[in-house]
A = this chain, B = another copy of it.
Amino acid sequence: MDLPYCANQFAEHTQTLIAITARLAARGWTPATSSNFSMRLDQQHAVITVSGRDKGQLTPADFMAIDFDGQAVASEQRPSAEALLHAHLYRRRPEINCVLHTHSHTQTVASRLYAGAGRVHFDGYELIKAIAGNTTHDASLTLPVLPNSQDMSTLAAQVEALLDAGPLWGYLIDGHGLYAWGRSHSEACRHLEAFEFLLGCELDLLRIAPQRASRLS
């Protein structure tokens, strides 16, 4: 078949994503077949996980191509319901090459607790420097929390507004989990790990010394 994207690139990205998802699944960040993962193929296509598979046991057959409207390309399979959110980021930001969406315990609990405030602020952590563009722990970093919705267009419009407002490398959705991305798959992984770590610290401050944690409202 004549594919509208490079089959070699597709195969290579698939291998990269299999390795990444296996690692994230082993940490328990993709429970119950949740989560989805993608990499940019070119100016119009990305490779993404097929909906509903166990992320700890992915094979090349569990990946498919989508266009930047989130529609399947040259595939009978169904992409993740959230494919549109991935596609949207690739369309809007040419420098983004990898998008990771996970569902860890920490991400989910934090999203529930900070949904009212609409954001989590991180202050005084050395690991803030792991997020692109931050060169000192003195910086303050904000992770937005969006209300959950089964309507992906609504979510996409909200992300649109956030992207307009300044540098953004991730967001939480209430009750749902984290999106993180990067210019490379390594950077996307680093951002994902850093947000997870920082959220885990904030939750522990809430358990021990709530007045030290990012405010809940």
Contacts and interface: CB of A to CB of B under 8 A. Distances in A.
A184 to B, nearest CB: 12
A209 to B, nearest CB: 6
B124 A103 contact: no
Nearest to A123: B175
Given A54-B186, A193-B32, A137 B150 contact: yes
Q: How many copies does the complex hold?
A: 4
Contacts of A209: 113, 206, 216
Contacts of A34: 126-127, 130
A32 B197 contact: yes
Contact of A130 (B33, B113, B203, B204): B33
A77 B190 CA distance: 21
A3 interface: no
B31 A212 contact: no
Interface residues of A, number: 48
Contacts of A190: 32-33
A174 B33 CA distance: 28
Interface stretch (A41-49, A89-97, A104-112): A104-112
A119 interface: no
A201 B124 contact: no
Contacts of A33: 130, 190
A197 B108 CA distance: 10
Contact of A203 (B31, B189, B208): B208
A55 to B, nearest CB: 11
B201 A112 contact: yes
Nearest to A131: B32
Interface string A134-175: 011110000000001010000000000000000000000111
A86 interface: no
Nearest 4 Cβ contacts at the A-B interface: A126-B176, A32-B130, A32-B194, A32-B193
